Structure 1
Amino acid sequence: MATFFEELWNSIFTPGTTPTLLVATNVSFAALQFLLLVLLFATYSIHFLILSILSAGLWYAINWFARELQIENAKAAGKEQKAKRDKSPEPGSDTETETAAQAPPCKPVVGSEVTGALLQPDLAKPGDDLRRRRSLGDSSGYVSTDSEWEKVSEGGSKK
């Protein structure tokens, strides 16, 4: 009995639900229901019936919540174990270092080959319906002159 109370005291400071805490909760609610039933028969007051219904609902809700927490913890533990299995390589399997060491060597590329390949435009094949972009000069057809800028600056200095 002393170990039960010790475990109960420690379970208060442990996050989540523990079996000891659930046992203590269920015993407490059973005692409360018994007391409310005795008071209902002793006084025939509807208040004790209503209190008993409320207490039973709270008792059920607490146990439901504890079950849901256990289910979620089991799912999380299962996912964690699966992740550990996926991360750890099996004996005889390839690892990144083995596959990198077995890869064929790359052919060195000279700088002019790279720039020449990058600077060549893709030529459209005949029959492709691609449009050429217009140059900047063709976009509006209007070109400003220095004299227009002089007119703007003269108008601003007269004020």
Structure 2
Amino acid sequence: MASFVEGLWQSIFTPGPTPTLLVATNVTFAALQVVLAGMLYATYSIHFVILSVLCGGLWASINWFANELKAHQQEEEEKKRRTQAARSPPPRAAPSPDDSETEVEAATSTASLRRVPTIAAAAAAPAAEAAAVSTEVEPAETHGELKHRVAEELPSPSQGLKSGVSTEDEWEKVSENEKDK
């Protein structure tokens, strides 16, 4: 009995309907119905019948609300679990020692790939899970051509001349400017 009272006290400060709080609510409403039935028997007053009907309606609505809230919480947990499963990245293969790809090139190449669900996976799994199950990738379409930047008519000292394909020349110029300061 002491553990029930302690659990009831802690359930008051816990958000949502806890099992201990629901048991206490049901016991309280049952006791109220017994008292109202006793008062009806003692006085034969219609007021206690009306109070008993109101008490029963409130009791049923509280239990209905608690059940709906529990179902909604389970639904939200399921959605959260599905979104976390869909967001988790697939395991990546370890890079081979001869990979000479830089971080920027790797980010660009992985960003240009998008997931495409297969027909077999879509037929085997529900539509919501088909995207999470698919492991095939397809390169994204390229839009337009790559163009070189045109240098301004009056280049500033920090810009210098147009560099080649890499940015090593620009990094060297930055480090030279830092040494000058």
Q: Please indicate, yes or no, whether the TM-score normalized by the shorter chain is above 0.5.
A: yes
Match of 2:147 in 1: 109
How far off its partner does 1:60 sit? 0.6
Q: 1:80 to 1:63 in 2, by over 3 A?
A: same
Q: Shift of the alpha carbon at 1:33?
A: 0.4
Cα RMSD after superposing both structures: 2.8
Equivalence for 1:62: 62
TM (normalized to structure 1)?
0.60
Paired position in structure 2 for 1:100:
110
Q: Percent identity?
A: 51
More helix by share: 1
Query: CA 1:35/1:61 → structure 2, altered by over 3 Å: closer, same or farther?
Result: same
Q: List per-residue Cα deviations over 1:31-65 (Å, max 9, x = no partner).
A: 10011111111111111111000000100111111
Q: Distance in 2 between matches of 1:101 and 1:25?
A: 55
Give the match's secondary structure for 1:32.
helix
Relative distance call for 1:101 and 1:85 in structure 2 (3 A) is closer
- The question of 1:81 aligning with 2:119 is answered no
Offset of 1:99 from its aligned partner?
4.1
* 1:67–1:86 CA distance, 2 compared to 1 (3 A): same
| 1:49 aligned partner | 49
Amino acid at match of 1:90: P
Equivalenced residue count is 109
What residue in structure 1 maps to residue 14 of structure 2? 14
CA, structure 1 residues 74+101, in 2 after alignment: closer, same or farther (shift >3 Å)?
closer
Partner of 1:129: none
One-letter code aligned to 2:25: T
Q: TM-score with structure 2 length normalisation?
A: 0.53
Offset at 1:111?
Answer: 3.8
Distance 1:44 1:90 in 2: 72
| Counterpart in the other structure of 1:132 | none
Return the alpha-carbon distance in structure 2 between the equivalents of residues 61 and 55 of structure 1: 10
- C-alpha distance 82-98 of structure 1, shift in aligned 2 (>3 A): farther
**C-alpha distance in 1 between matches for 2:30 and 2:111:** 68
| C-alpha separation in 1, matches of 2:49 and 2:111 | 77
Return the alpha-carbon distance in structure 2 between the equivalents of residues 101 and 71 of structure 1.
39
1:75-103 Cα offsets, whole Å, 9 max, x none, are: 1100000011001123358xx84943998
Looking at structure 2, the residues matched to 26 and 101 of structure 1 have their Cα atoms a distance apart, in angstroms, of: 57
Cα separation, 1, equivalents of 2:19 and 2:35: 24
